[in-house]
Structure 1
Amino acid sequence: MYNTDTGLSRRSLLRYGAAATGLTAPALAGCSPSEDGPKPGGGTPAGNVPLRMSAYGSTARQQKLQQVYDLYKKKRGGSVELSLLANDAYSQKLATEIAGGAAADTIALFQNIVAQYALKNVLAPLDDYVPKVLDISQLDQSSIASGVINGKRAALPLGDNAYGAIYDKGALDAIGMSVPKPGHTWDDFIAFANDVKKKSGGAYYGTVDDSGDFNGFEVFARQRGKELYKEGKLGVSRDDVQAWFEIWAGLRKTGAAPPGDLTVQSSTGGFGTTLLVGKKAPNFFIYPNVLGALQALTKTELAVTTMPMPSAAQSGHFLRGSNWVGVYARSEHPADAVDLVNFIVNDEEAGKVLQAEFGAPPNLQLRKSITYNKVDQLFIDYVGLVAKEFAHPVPSLADEFPSGSPQVMTTFVTVSQSIATGKQTISDGVDSFMSQAAGFLT
């Protein structure tokens, strides 16, 4: 589960900007729309044809996909050639292939580029093949809904995810404390963080400083009835941003959160440099499909819970489709490419091979039938909990990731660090962010 739809660590987000989550603006600008437009949809798979799929991820993912392709060949005939690269290398190669009209039949997509490609007629409308070729009846309808762009289903997620917080349960047990319960409030969380600092005798900070976490801020904004973006512009107010930064400044002031220089230092590497793994703080806010990767770096037991929230009705939480996949509009075998997507998300044997590789399996019935290891089961259970008790609808990927959004995210991180290290006041930092964000979103 190490690879996520938004890169491998927060440091990669800051370091690469959009490259960690998809295409940079210049790369995307170089992608030519399909001059011929999408080929007519709704056909029937020919079967026994050669297909290509491009994807991003690890060697382990490559091996699992190859097993799935072997099953597909056995059951459907034909063949599937896989081109898989690391996250940051994948985006540029994909842009080049699309610009040259030579993309693979089936294309893995970072969430923030689905809409841009759909609007350029790069992706075949999948609803043309529903239900004859593509069965979406067992998929979580809330997570797949955001892949509908301008009324057309552009892509499907290969997994489901939900934002949260990973805690060091073993470390908390050792000082007589417990992981905050799902649905805990901001007041609960602030009290908890200060208690950890006291009960550990100062050995632990009570929490990481999450002020630079744009994904966390998205949840916080939704708790206040806002979306990050509205009609391509910033959807949050100055007061929303200031309220977020003030929470973390207050925790730094009491010593419950680390000083800014330590937070910046801990973000300079991968998961191994996090304060959670370094035993300096008991938590880490992130999409928890990376739980297995973090658990492998520590001997104490980890657990997952929600972010703090005002109430379940104002949780701000949502199901996040991850590791999206679409079909190239100019594929010579579009119906067969769609059939491959259908096989990946719906075939029982394929699901048992992939397990939680792309997140929680999107087919809800299939998800229940798979036997997971203990760590993956914790993640699966968390996604199910959010879906049942806390999830609220999300906008389409087009609304959630407008042009300029990668730069807005990077600016948010930079400003947060400037505030945390005392280089800017909260007020000045908020003004700087609001001004720069408005410029990027013009």
Structure 2
Amino acid sequence: MNTSIRRIALGVAAAASVLSLAACGVAKAPATGGGEPAALSDEPVTLRVMWWGGDARHERTQKVFDLFEEKHPNITIEPEFSDWNGYWEKLATATAGGNAADVMQMDQVYLASYADRGSLVDLGQYADQLKTDGLEESVLDMGKWDDKLYAMPISTTSTAAIVNLDVIDQVGVPLPDTSTWTWDEFGEWAAAVSAASGGSVYGTGQLGNEYQLQLFARQHGDALFTDGKISIKPETLAAYFQLGLDWIKSGAAPSASYMAEQASLPIDQSDFSVGKATTVFTSSTLVTAYAAASGANLELVPIPTLDGDKEKYDYFKPGMYWSASSKSEHPAEAALLIDFLVNDPEAGAIIGTERGIPANSDVIDALGDSLTAEEQKTVAFAESRRPKLGDAPAIVPNGASDVQTILLRYQQEVNFERQTPIAAAEAMIAEITASITAAAG
């Protein structure tokens, strides 16, 4: 939950490159599920488990493993972990060599790439070991590829506008009704904030990731990906780019050059954290990190819409997943461990919200009063969005894992007015289409 946007942005490009190279050396195996699933063994079993994260995550995860081993004395867990960047290189190399860990942490942008190459177990075969009824169906669907469950969602997040109420009060431009605000209303308000502050505070930054683009597309009755292809209309993508350019031109957001300089800063040095911006569009779970960095009174509100938030365009995105290697000699035990990590209240109490808000609602209930004030805001915000949830979107297909890096590149082209929004949209769609086609070949 505390992973910085900077680390993600820098890691995606390198990881996607490594994954593509690894894929070249791995034959595309058939999807699992053709035979009888393995049964649990009474003999000693060792499971290797691999994940990314910081020290706090490692410590909590190891405590959960200790508890699991107490409950299952014949199973021993060997942990392997690294930071985000190193993780994907290690996983790609291990997968190419047929030596991936039995259980691995997975991300949505890489799920299809691994599943499509036959590198993951269809967890749906192991319903006796892994229960899924504690998760929203739309969330569970985002762990599927080709109608098979290759990844069990660990946590969920929502996209929100986080607003700094202290700075808004200082500037003296009150928020509009955020329950129904439109993009036009937001842009006018953000420009008014910048003007009222004399340029010392900006109303907003930019939209800037694949999740936010997905939501914007859904508001337009469109979709970023469909049936393993990029399907967003050029006009929809151009409108997304135009929105950010309009904010720059109106003064609602800083100049393109200023934002480019700020893009690599960690959360605690961002304009929003230091009180120079009133709004940031980001994952709702990052309110904890922003609150710690800013020390301000922050509120989570819905992102603006075209229609006053009437249509069911929203969805919960898995923060990350657990998957099992198709090369594992113990897939039933791997599924049992994943079930424990995601569904067991005792395990959930140890893990807390370090990996995000638990995907299993029973685990959230079990956490109860142990949630911090910011975590309670995140849970409450998610609950408020339930009436607006639509069907799960298609996950990022094989060949499009670097969509985030590509999106930011073309957005910057538009912000600097080196390309028009429609030209950038058409070029981005063509580039991702070519990458998906190459991966399929």
* Same fold at TM > 0.5: yes
- How is 1:7-406 mapped onto 2 (pairs within 5 angstroms)? 8-9=4-5, 11-19=6-14, 24-33=19-28, 40-41=36-37, 43-44=39-40, 46=42, 49-77=45-73, 78-130=75-127, 132-176=128-172, 177-178=174-175, 181-210=178-207, 212-311=208-307, 312-314=309-311, 316-370=313-367, 371-386=370-385, 388-397=386-395, 401-406=396-401
Amino acid at match of 2:12: G
Counterpart of 1:440? 435
- Quote the RMSD (CA, aligned, Å): 2.5
Residue 54 to residue 434, structure 1, CA distance change in 2 (3 Å):
closer
Deviations 1:145-171 (A, max 9, x none): 122222221111111111222222221
Query: Shift of the alpha carbon at 1:332?
Result: 2.1
Task: Tell me the matched-pair count.
Answer: 431
Work out the CA distance in 2 between the residues paired with 1:277 and 1:428: 34
Tell me if structure 2 keeps the 8 A contact 1:289–1:359.
yes
Tell me if structure 2 keeps the 8 A contact 1:25–1:403.
no
Deviations 1:211-250 (A, max 9, x none): x433322211111111112333331222112212222222
Residue 173 to residue 29, structure 1, CA distance change in 2 (3 Å):
farther
Aligned partner (choices 388, 406, 413) of residue 411 of structure 1: 406
Amino acid at match of 2:273: V
Q: Which runs of 5+ in 1 are unaligned?
A: none
Tell me if structure 2 keeps the 8 A contact 1:148–1:396.
no
Tell me if structure 1 keeps the 8 A contact 2:8–2:84.
no
Residue 234 to residue 268, structure 1, CA distance change in 2 (3 Å):
same
Amino acid at match of 1:429: A
Query: Shift of the alpha carbon at 1:61?
Result: 0.4
Tell me if structure 2 keeps the 8 A contact 1:309–1:315.
no
Amino acid at match of 1:422: E
Query: Shift of the alpha carbon at 1:60?
Result: 0.6
State the identity %: 26
Residue 217 to residue 373, structure 1, CA distance change in 2 (3 Å):
same
Work out the CA distance in 2 between the residues paired with 1:21 and 1:391: 30
Work out the CA distance in 1 between the residues paired with 2:194 and 2:98: 57
Q: TM-score, normalised by structure 2?
A: 0.90
SS of residue in 2 equivalent to 1:134: coil
Residue 434 to residue 372, structure 1, CA distance change in 2 (3 Å):
same
Query: Shift of the alpha carbon at 1:139?
Result: 1.7
Query: Shift of the alpha carbon at 1:28?
Result: 3.3
